[in-house]
Structure 1
Amino acid sequence: MRFESVRAHPFGPFDDDTLTLAPGLNVVYGTNEAGKSTWHAALYAGLCGMRRRKGGLSAEDKRFRDRHRPWDGNGEWAVSAVVALEDGHRVELHHDLANRVNSSAVDADLAGRDYAGRITYEGAPDGSRWLGLNRRSFLGVACVRQAQILGLLNDAGALQEDLQRAAATAGADETAARALELLATYRKEQVGSEHAPKKPLRTSRERVDAALSALERAREAQAHYLARRRDVEQLAREAQALEEEAAALRAARAAEAAEDAERRAGHAAELPALFPAGPPRSAAAGSGPRTAAVVHAAAPYVAAAAVAAGGALGRAAFSRPGRLTGAPG
């Protein structure tokens, strides 16, 4: 990441002024009170901003405010910076230092692309997050004030402190590297790769594949079951329809049989009027062929009448014993 420009609007003695930086090393020079330290502070504030939190400012923020707020005192205090990231994107950071509300980080080339959510730290966008730092650690390792440089002339021990701070930072980086190494080792041993047959990743994938195959078979079995169930339900409906049809046929046949029995009973009821003296003698008793023919023709009607009337009509019509047996009168 590198700075392309910083703009003070307003910041310290500057008002709507821009400092453009070239790639590589930039040297800002001038006479005393020309604003070199102010541009240095503007670069820091343009990248990191100021933290936004409940309550008042910290002692460090108060010192920064008292030193770099605008001289005219109209209430405005803002700074912005354009930085180029390693992936080629250019981001414009804007910090409202007076109210610490309207701060933003947007793509300088693609309108509407917002980066603030990715780099917000302590309530405000902090561009040093792209370096793996925050506004406090960036101030400690990337910003060397003039007073600190001049202090080395009188106190060489201060250089030792700076070196110790750098060493501590290197130690932190080493710790981070060690952590990454441990993560890689854990992944190798506890996760493995797809080519390691006994590691959890490979076995887990095999279990997932087996589970998916079982799921597919279960779905096919369910589909087969549902199809057979529909067939059974259809056959049950057809059987019910056939049963109802058969019942209707049985009822029709019973009705026909009842009508036939009623007709036969009616014919049988006419016999007493035809034969007032009783049934004629049978042909077996020697009464003659005419009598035998009459008895033969009347026999079905007599039987039907006896069945339909429960035998009452037969007893009423043939009350004299021996008439149907061929015995002499």
Structure 2
Amino acid sequence: METLAQDLVPFDENLEANYYTTKKGELPLWDHPFLKGSKVLPKKYYPITNLERAVEHLSRGLIDENDFMILKVLGDAICANENQLRRYLEPKLSHSQTSTRLDRMRRYGFVDRWKVRIRGQEETVKPPAPYSLGMAGFKLLKHYYNSEFFMDANRWDALGIGGIKRYVSVNELRCTMIEMRILKQWKWNPVIANHHKNHRPLGVGLVETPQGNVNFIMDRVQSTQDFIGYFKDRLYNWKKIYERYGELPISEFPDHPSYVILFASTLSVANQLHKELMLDTYPFPIWVCVEEDLLESGFNTSFYIPTSEKLKRIQIDF
């Protein structure tokens, strides 16, 4: 796995609030309180805004099969940074080929590129740019894969940087599992217990392990939001479902043992979550995956299980 040094930012002691830093005293990029971002349009911009012209571009070969593959991978990821897209596509395209094609498709609105910076550190911290589907890309994919979900480009105006960082951060974990060839199925925001009023996790993955297949019910811990209230409501809802069914049924997923995976940027925010919500008291298994450990030492040693005293780091064998 390619570790990104840009994902960790030195902690500024002049910050007034008490933030959840890493073990090294750094603030993770995708959970930074001063993170800002905006869509950046190319200098030569000729956006396609209707389905007919998007399909015409494909039928005339102005975008080819590899371009369409990039669009599908990006659509399935919802929002991923350039490094992640390169890794997703590495078996088929070189890194430079992926970047060149993304840049060309920007001109016609098939993809949108975002500029993400930390306020006050614009010239020193320059992470890989996130990408999302543009107007033309959304229309084209929705035409050919009508039953599947793709994020409408217009929705990013409301989701903003909060949505960008949630999807980019979870795509790091998703991308890692795909590189390890253990992720066999994935769905964003699936329905739990066949009822749309139940709280949905950010994503669910079917993961292959030496002991058999399991379902990872995953959500992101954002320290810059009310993460205690967010997970208090979710876990209470899932507890009631578990008490009724004896499991957490997930629409469109096989009936495998399920683990709730809380993906936290730092161990400090994970410890606070456990302290407030006593994660060991829920009837279903909860694991915490810590992003700083994922980037530092890899997937297998990035997990913790809650005990009555603390979060205990474990090593898993995949």
Provide the TM-score with structure 1 as the length reference: 0.19
Instruction: Identify the structure with the greater strand proportion.
Output: 2
Higher relative contact order (CA 8 A, sep 6+): 2
Larger radius of gyration: 1
